[in-house]
Homo-oligomer: A and B are copies of this chain.
Amino acid sequence: MKKFVNEVENILTESLTGFGKAHSDIIDVRLSPDFVFRKNKSQNDKVALISGGGSGHEPLHGGFVGYGMLDAACPGQVFSAPTPDQMEAAANEVHKNKGILFIVKNYSGDIMNFEMGADMIEHENQTIIVNDDVAVEDSTFTTGRRGVAGTMIVEKTVGSLAETGASLEDCKIFGDHVNKMTASMGVAFTSCTVPAAGKPTFELSNDEMEFGVGIHGEPGRRREKIKSANQLTDEILETILEDLKPDNNQEVLLHVNGFGGTPLMELYLLFECGQKLLEKKNIKVSRSLVGNYTTSLEMAGGSFTVTKLDADIAKHWDSAVHTPALRWKM
């Protein structure tokens, strides 16, 4: 296994410790139970936003803890749900007496453990389930649609709303709304290797791709020969637009997300393909984000995410953010 690692069982602890030291101006890391939380806590009473999920998708979620986004993140082992005691400890650390909002990707294990975590805390709480992946209904670890790269868009926009002092109920409603306005789909060229397994999760031959792959390597719609970037863009965006049914002249945020093993050069090329295609359909890309934000370890491939923008979503996307992985206007 070709990885920077000492003992496989210590990967998460060592990585989190390094993460904490590298970003000690913004976040702090607590171990056993593990969670990442804001160091300079907000002065305002605000709803506390907590996300989490299996590790291996970095910078999601720990990289999005900070002003304008999350208050805490609970990382599980690689591709494994965090345990309820992590959510309990994080909630007790960051709550501000305005309630806790959990943001959870739609995987059965995550949902179960976040529910148990919610039961263990005394603070009022609500949960947003993100299920933006339009590739398949039901999957290896999911009932319904999977939560993928759209999750960070929910975290950014709801994080911004929470910063204004909005109520728990308003944050919950807005997050559900952003989730509904968001759709994603991706393609994998290679598998990744989960450290504890020591071998690739799945095999693809030299000219094959997994079309509609999940961020843990779950099967997509079909396995087929690799196509050109334009053809892939066309098929993925058609599926996304069928779901979102945008109006003519709809403004959108277009997010091209790399899964970890694809060069930035290709991701910008993919963005160009997507932007051109949407323009042809009279859809206006007025916001953009290109890069590795919701990864699958070193998997090669990437995904498109489209969010239909209204004035509120645009405002909360544009607002100031200061986290390890996303920073603007500060």
Pick the contact of A2: B15, B56, B190 (CB < 8 A).
B190
Residues on B with C-beta less than 8 A from A262 are: 3-4, 298
Q: Is the interface of A mostly helix, strand, loop or mixed?
A: mixed
Residues on B with C-beta less than 8 A from A12 are: 265
Q: Which of A2-30 contact B (CB under 8 A)?
A: 2-6, 11-12, 14-19, 21-22
Q: Which of A228, A264, A298 has the most CB of B within 10 A?
A: A264
Residues on B with C-beta less than 8 A from A292 are: 264, 292
Query: Is there contact, CB below 8 Å, between A15 and B269?
Result: yes
Query: Is there contact, CB below 8 Å, between A265 and B11?
Result: yes
Could you say how many copies of this chain the assembly holds? Answer: 2
Pick the contact of A269: B18, B190, B298, B300 (CB < 8 A).
B18
Q: Is A260 an interface residue (CB 8 A)?
A: yes
User: Smallest Cβ distance from A223 to chain B, in angstroms?
Assistant: 13
Pick the contact of A266: B15, B63, B272, B290 (CB < 8 A).
B15
Residues on B with C-beta less than 8 A from A270 are: 4, 18
Query: Is there contact, CB below 8 Å, between A189 and B288?
Result: no
The interface of chain A, by Cβ under 8 A from chain B, is 2-6, 11-12, 14-19, 21-22, 55-56, 58-59, 63, 78, 189-190, 192, 206, 209, 226, 228-230, 232, 260-273, 275, 285, 288-290, 292, 295, 297-298, 300, 302, 327-330
Extra contacts besides A18-B269, A19-B290 (6): CB < 8 Å: A5-B229, A11-B266, A14-B273, A18-B275, A63-B264, A261-B298
